Structure 1
């Protein structure tokens, strides 16, 4: 007897610009609206927005001045979100932001919402991923 793993995957290439996060959020929300609960969809959209925002602020773009955003829904109901950019000299890390700081909370938000997150590097750049 064999089992088949059902997997649904999507990918969008967005500008390495603040509007890239907007495009990624809307595309992810549209594609997953009927597949996730409202709370889980809200978490997924927030994670994608934080990861793309961090890529725009802290990393170089991929060739073509873009960022790749991919997500896949596995048969076990795990959602994986991956944001790939051209990388940066310093890798992503959790920071402790002062209460009155206007930034520095992105990965803390991702870590709070996700069941796991991490960074993969290759010769072309880096991918920050999160699961929920």
Structure 2
């Protein structure tokens, strides 16, 4: 049975750090450590920041779900602005932002987005290596 951590944060920049902390705690509880924790936390920060900055729905909440299922870790970030899908683009060297999805594409094993009836979700998948999978105890 997969282990899952799901929580919501208000759509405000000051809550991005709360998402990072909650994810680090969940990963630590599951025995996931090292570079994978850093990568998942970095990409979560990028995806949550994108949701916070680009969601046009007032008083929205951003939902973050992290799921450990066997040798795969899934990160999902959802917001209620379902018709505004993210797109990967090249950023000019002098642009301050616009590189978050490029980081996700480079560091996740797979990524994408999907529309639900009332939300959109951007997701990233991470394959755990054999050594890493062996270190992680099965969920209770």
TM-score of the superposition, structure 2-length normalised? 0.83
* In the alignment, structure 1 residue 13 sits paired with structure 2 residue 12: no
> Normalization by structure 1: what TM-score?
0.87
SS in 1 for 2:65: strand
Aligned residue number for residue 43 of structure 1: 39
1:23-62 aligned within 5 A: 23-34=18-29, 35-61=31-57
Query: Is 1:126 paired with 2:120?
Result: yes
Q: Is the 8 A contact 2:7 2:63 kept in 1?
A: yes
Q: Pick which of 122-131 and 87-96 moved more.
A: 87-96
Partner of 2:133: none
Gaps of 5+ in 2: 127-140
User: What RMSD over aligned residues (CA atoms) do the two structures have, in Å?
Assistant: 1.6
CA contact (8 A) 2:8 2:64 kept: yes
- Once the two structures are TM-superposed, the CA of residue 89 in structure 1 deviates from its matched residue by 4.2
SS at match of 2:97: coil
Contact 2:82/2:118, CA 8 A, preserved across alignment = no
Does the 8 Å CA contact 1:60/1:85 hold for their aligned counterparts? no
Please list every run of at least 4 consecutive aligned residues from structure 1 whose deviation after the TM superposition is greater than 4 angstroms.
none
How many residues are matched?
125
- Aligned partner of 1:117 in structure 2 is 111
